[in-house]
Structure 1
């Protein structure tokens, strides 16, 4: 079974079915699901130099030997294995300095919390039908937060797209036998 369940929905669809901001990128990969998903788990930042550079601009820790999956959201969230062909990055953020996010794991907060002032961020990497993709969804829990986040989203969208396309190409290269960058 690929990243879709029998009802055709992904874990991303179940976790964050509505969103205010969204970005999707895809590449074709002529390899088995097992090979591709192993590459998803094993690809390191050194293999995606454009992504690594973009992450460094945000001061994220994208050390050469760190794995992309597992380290993507840094301290903002957590990585969740969603099934055979899908991995989720789940995060919660606020736009207010010094404001603590609600108690619980990022996954619990995204599922259960509707407290105003939060940004729920979910990104997946999934493989199915020969297509490796990543989709990012952001949901603001109130209108004020959505309005405040919009300029930031517009400013980072191009760099975010470069980062994700670089990640997908690195994963595809590894899956097709290109291996790790020395």
Structure 2
């Protein structure tokens, strides 16, 4: 073994260790926060493969088994093909198989959806208070991801870390969201979207009364809820479900591509949001409620 290989051995060991940490850490985040969605996972898997291939084109990464630029070029084609196929994979129409909730009255059928839940032993009145008073300032990770998503949509301004309850902005429609129905334990919110020539969605102003009729080419309806339920074992369950419906095939294809890319970030935002609610409920004192 020559001196060069001896010198490189610690660097390779460190690289393998960093890769293992990244894989384990990323896997834990995905397992906890991002429910499995095959087209989205495949889209991002293809991106990772393509990125590794690009690095290997510049310098073959033998420690990854990519010893030549020819192999890297083949890997790049595989990554691009996987991402393109997954991002453009056709979406279908779904209907919830769970028990009926208020969200079903506003969007019973949908093309895309995500569901998240969390549990706590905090009293239900504190949990309800927390769902209403949690703010963006309580969720720095979510704020970072929302900023990245805004920038991807062409909005370069960074939203402030507002400490006011998030629901205030929804009631005032400052962010494009609106309240469709609000109660202590089951509230439903909406976001009407239009699509630009590029296919990227953007909020569209409309009233809650007009939302049901917000249909047609280029229009997308987004509905999400927040539900609080007392369970038999003393736990309180908080859930949020998001549903999205695009009416015409062209808009559906464009939004599908957009959704496959943003889905992991969207899921993490909702996971962080639920965690912030639970944390607020568990640290609350009777004087705060």
Global fold match (TM > 0.5): yes
Structure 1 CA distance for aligned equivalents of residues 136 and 282 of structure 2: 17
Confirm whether residue 126 of structure 1 aligns to residue 227 of structure 2: yes
Structure 1: gaps of 5 or more residues: 1-7
* Counterpart position of 1:93: 193
Structure 2 CA distance for aligned equivalents of residues 100 and 173 of structure 1: 32
* TM-score relative to the length of structure 2: 0.53
* Counterpart position of 1:24: 115
Which string of whole-angstrom CA distances, capped at 9 and with x for unpartnered residues, describes residues 36-58 of structure 1?
11111111112112111111223
The range that moved more, 56-65 or 29-38, is 56-65
Q: How does 1:39-118 map to 2 (within 5 A)?
A: 39-59=130-150, 61=159, 63-71=161-169, 74-96=174-196, 104-105=206-207, 107-118=208-219
Equivalent position to 2:266, from 121, 139, 160: 160
Higher relative contact order (CA 8 A, sep 6+): 1
Q: 1:101 offset after TM fit, Å?
A: 8.2
**Root mean square deviation of aligned Cα:** 2.6
Higher strand share: 1
* TM-score relative to the length of structure 1: 0.81
Structure 2 CA distance for aligned equivalents of residues 48 and 100 of structure 1: 23
In 2, are the aligned partners of 1:56 and 1:62 still within 8 Å (CA)? Answer: no
Structure 2 CA distance for aligned equivalents of residues 90 and 35 of structure 1: 25
Higher helix share: 2
Confirm whether residue 148 of structure 1 aligns to residue 217 of structure 2: no
Q: 1:62 offset after TM fit, Å?
A: 5.1
Q: 1:143 offset after TM fit, Å?
A: 1.4
1:37 to 1:178, Cα distance in 2 relative to 1, 3 A? closer
